[in-house]
Each structure stands twice: as structure tokens, then as C-alpha cells.
Amino acid sequence: GYHAWCRHPGVLGYGGFLASAWLLWDAPALRVAAPVWWLTTLAYTAAMDHFLMDRIYPDEYWWYRRKTPFLIPRCGRRIYAG
């Protein structure tokens, strides 16, 4: 699935949604709020990834984190569903 390409595809999709809303709607408040919302979500996800996931999945997550990028998928590499 998507989690084989990057560890947090939902954050990437949320950023795409906010970028689209930022470009399509002419709302001054959204021009300020959208980047703040996305950066806050990104910071929370990075903290959760760094501090919490190793404690929840101590044996598996280190390998998953080593093989799978945090946010930006690597193009052109083979994905194993293993």
C-alpha cells in the first residue's frame, strides 16, 4: 500500500489538500492558516514518529524506518510487500 512508499502518506495528502485550497480560494485567513496547519501537523507527526513509534513497535519499526522515507517517496525503487 501507500505506507510502502512513505511512512506518512496522510500528511502528504493533507498538505496537497491545503495547497489546493490555498490556491483555489481567495480567503486571506486561509493564506495564513493553511501553512500553519500543515506545519503543525508535520511537526506532530515527526515527533510521534521519533518518540512514540519505536516504543509501540520496538522490534519492527526500526527496520521500517530504515527502509521507508518519512514523507517524500523515492521514485524508481522496487517495493516489497513482504
Q: Average of pLDDT values for 52-67?
A: 88
- Identify the band that residue 70 occupies on the pLDDT scale cut at 50, 70 and 90: confident
pLDDT value at position 72? 81
Strand, coil or helix: what is 58? coil
Alpha-carbon gap, residue 82 to 21, rounded angstroms: 37
pLDDT score at 80: 54
Helices (H) and strands (E) in the chain, counts: 4, 0
Give the C-alpha separation, 11 to 49, whole Å.
12
pLDDT of residue 39: 93
The pLDDT value given to residue 17: 93
Please answer whether residues 12 and 6 qualify as being in contact, where contact means their C-beta atoms are separated by less than 8 angstroms.
yes
